[in-house]
Amino acid sequence: MKERVITGLVAGAVFIPFLWIGGLALQLLMTAIGLIAVQELLKMKKLTIFSVEGIITALATVLLMLPEAYLHFIPDGIDAMLLIYLEALILFVFTVFSRNDFTFDDAAASVLTSLYVGRGFYYFMQTREIGFWMVLLVLFIIWGTDIGAYMIGRKIGKNKLAPAISPNKTVEGSVGGSIAAVLIAIVFFHYYNPLGLSMGLQIMLTILLSVCGQMGDLVESAFKRYFGVKDAGKILPGHGGMLDRFDSTLFVMPVFHIFLHFIF
């Protein structure tokens, strides 16, 4: 636990200033984090980012991650869906000439990796475009959910939430995490509410993001369980890999933007 706390404090001390600065500095940092996440996912599938297929996957991820302002060199008419489709076609061609060393399953995993990581971090940057405090709000909801679920789950957790995937998580912890997130969000919105959300929408948004964050965590647990690994990586002592830290964020940020499209 001590190692986990120290790593979290150091990581926060590095990450928050980049988040405050935003712009190119943050984009470079998130691109580096995204590429590490790609490497972690590919490694679980026993693929390497330092192969032709891995480089194609990494390149597609970066292109899907970048805001449109950085993509002036791409011809008009080529959008994210077409990029994903082109990546799939190129990787499918590799299955023909690889003598079954690179299979359809490998190609599918690579394409989904690009989509999952690339667009997840794209919407992270889109949230930063709204404002520093809005990103911080979403992160507070994620962190509040994690802390609340851990504390409540340890105290009163009895009913397993997803025992086949993550045996330590409980229904009580999940509900407690969402309640903690709601309390944090209400206090936050009291001082900062640029979207002008009513109390009802504040609570609705927080519960939605809290549940999605927990689902993102469970999805990554399912990945690790399937591939037989404890952590996605070892880059963050006590925490694991970048995916272990950003699994909830990759789910929450796109859903946050879908919510905004529905209410505005």
Q: Per-residue pLDDT tens for 105-139?
A: 999 999 999 999 999 999 999 999 999 999 999 99
End-to-end Cα, the chain, rounded Å: 42
Rounded (10°) CA dihedral 182, 187, 190, 196: -30
What pLDDT does 75 receive?
A: 80
Low-confidence ranges of the chain (pLDDT < 70): 1-5, 238
Residues with Cβ < 8 Å from 256, sequence gap 6 or more?
123, 127, 138, 205, 209
CA dist 31 to 66, 115, 125, Å?
A: 8, 14, 10
Structure tokens at 65: 């991650």
What pLDDT does 1 receive?
A: 58
Q: At what angle do helices 132-156 and 2-21 cross, to 10 degrees?
A: 160
pTM above the 0.85 mark? yes
What pLDDT does 8 receive?
A: 73
What pLDDT does 76 receive?
A: 78
